[in-house]
């Protein structure tokens, strides 16, 4: 489905009749057991129990900034040193963390489905790589990866797991509000072999998602016969419209979250609680 079609469908989805979702796990598992293609959309909440902060709410601050202050092309153009300190901190943090029970359950479920000739499409908004580290084979990374860079000059995308990513960032990026920015010159920030400045290969606010990645996600969402939405606030577009669009075509959608979201009443199921508990129970793994 093309993006314009998805946008149109979103407007229709918001007009759908909203009703109380079910929290009947047995009923959900019965439907899941008969499904052939399971789509999963995950967000920051799935990694929260691994100790990785989510974006919204009190935990979403780095120093005095929130993601929308630093995860923008404008912020990087104004102050690449500050933005690199932010990403350096998050790269180093993730390297100290492990996948949790929800990540592992999804990875095992993918293997189980495959053995019975069925399929799982895992679409994540997360850039932490924890699904892959848990063993998920095929992960559609909508918003890029903390461990990839892109050159501002030649455009080359490269995997990069160096710790620190460059000598000048060693020991930098402290998250406390009193920490002061270090103002690293551009020439000491991560550099491409062509001499260009590297940036994190992530999708910032105001940037379009990679077309191939978006097409892959949309194809999965179009052909799935059940959809799980795990640990996302469903407020950041275009991902926020994915599950409501699936629900609109009559496909069961189950939301797993600590709380209700703006889309909860458009879904058939809502399981409230930590995904490290609810997801393994729902998948029966």
Binding residues for Zn(2+): 151, 154, 192, 194
The residue annotated as part of the active site, out of 103, 143, 201, 270, is 143
Task: Indicate whether 67 belongs to the interface with ligand BJW (CB under 6 A).
Answer: yes
Task: Indicate whether 157 belongs to the interface with Zn ion (CB under 5 A).
Answer: no
Q: Under the phi-then-psi rule, with left for phi > 0, alpha for psi from -120 to 50, and beta for the rest, what region is 176?
A: beta
Task: Indicate whether 275 belongs to the interface with ligand BJW (CB under 6 A).
Answer: yes
Pick from 30, 98, 114, 259 the residue near ligand BJW by CB under 6 A. 259
Nearest distance from C-beta of residue 36 to ligand BJW, angstroms: 26
**Is 143 annotated in the active site?**
yes
Task: Indicate whether 260 belongs to the interface with ligand BJW (CB under 6 A).
Answer: no
Binding residues for ligand BJW restricted to 183-202, rule: CB under 6 A: 202
Task: Indicate whether 236 belongs to the interface with ligand BJW (CB under 6 A).
Answer: yes
Distance CA 159, CA 283 (A): 32
Nearest distance from C-beta of residue 228 to ligand BJW, angstroms: 12
Q: Which two tokens stand for residue 32?
A: 């899941």
Task: Indicate whether 273 belongs to the interface with Zn ion (CB under 5 A).
Answer: no
Binding residues for Zn ion restricted to 177-236, rule: CB under 5 A: 192, 194, 196
Task: Count the residues in the chain.
Answer: 285
* Nearer Cβ to ligand BJW (35/54): 54
Nearest distance from C-beta of residue 168 to ligand BJW, angstroms: 20
Q: CB under 5 to 8 A by kind: which of Zn ion, ligand BJW, none does 151 bind?
A: Zn ion
Nearest distance from C-beta of residue 121 to ligand BJW, angstroms: 17
Residue nearest to ligand BJW (CB): 45
Do 263 and 255 meet the contact criterion of CB atoms below 8 Å apart?
yes
Instruction: Give the strand pairing for 119-124 and 139-141.
Output: parallel
Asked if the peptide bond before residue 238 counts as cis, ω within 30 degrees of 0, the response is: yes
Q: CB under 5 to 8 A by kind: which of ligand BJW, Zn ion, none does 196 bind?
A: Zn ion
Give the neighbor-by-neighbor strand order of the sheet with 157-159: 157-159, 144-151, 198-202
Instruction: Give the strand pairing for 144-151 and 157-159.
Output: antiparallel
Contact residues: Zn ion, CB under 5 A: 151, 153-154, 192, 194, 196
Contact residues: ligand BJW, CB under 6 A: 43-45, 48-49, 54-56, 67, 71, 125, 127, 143, 202-203, 205-208, 231-233, 235-238, 256-259, 261, 274-275
Catalytic residue numbers? 143
């Amino acid at each position: 489905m093309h993006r314009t079609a998805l946008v149109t469908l979103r407007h229709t989805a918001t007009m759908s009749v909203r009703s109380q979702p079910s929290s009947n796990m047995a009923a959900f598992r019965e439907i899941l057991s008969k499904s052939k293609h399971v789509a999963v959309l995950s967000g920051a909440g799935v990694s929260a129990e691994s100790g990785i902060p989510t974006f919204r709410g009190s935990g979403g601050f780095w120093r005095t900034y929130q993601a929308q202050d630093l995860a923008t092309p404008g912020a990087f153009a104004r102050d690449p040193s500050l933005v690199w300190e932010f990403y350096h901190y998050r790269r180093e943090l993730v390297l100290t963390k492990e996948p949790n029970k929800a990540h592992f359950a999804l990875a095992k479920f993918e293997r189980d489905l495959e053995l019975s000739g069925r399929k799982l499409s895992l679409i994540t908004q997360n850039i932490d790589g924890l699904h892959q580290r848990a063993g998920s084979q095929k992960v559609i990374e909508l918003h890029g990866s903390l461990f990839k860079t892109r050159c501002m000059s030649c455009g080359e995308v490269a995997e990069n797991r160096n710790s620190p990513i460059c000598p000048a960032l060693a020991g930098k990026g402290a998250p406390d509000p009193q920490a002061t920015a270090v103002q690293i010159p551009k020439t000491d920030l991560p550099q491409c072999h062509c001499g260009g400045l590297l940036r994190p290969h992530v999708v910032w606010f105001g940037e379009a998602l990679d077309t191939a990645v978006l097409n892959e996600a949309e194809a999965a969402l179009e052909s799935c016969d059940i959809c799980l939405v795990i640990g996302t606030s469903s407020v950041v577009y275009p991902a926020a419209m994915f599950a409501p669009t699936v629900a609109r075509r009559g496909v069961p959608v189950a939301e797993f979250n600590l709380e209700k979201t703006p889309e909860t009443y458009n879904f058939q199921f809502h399981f409230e609680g930590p995904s490290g508990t609810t997801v393994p129970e729902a998948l029966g793994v």
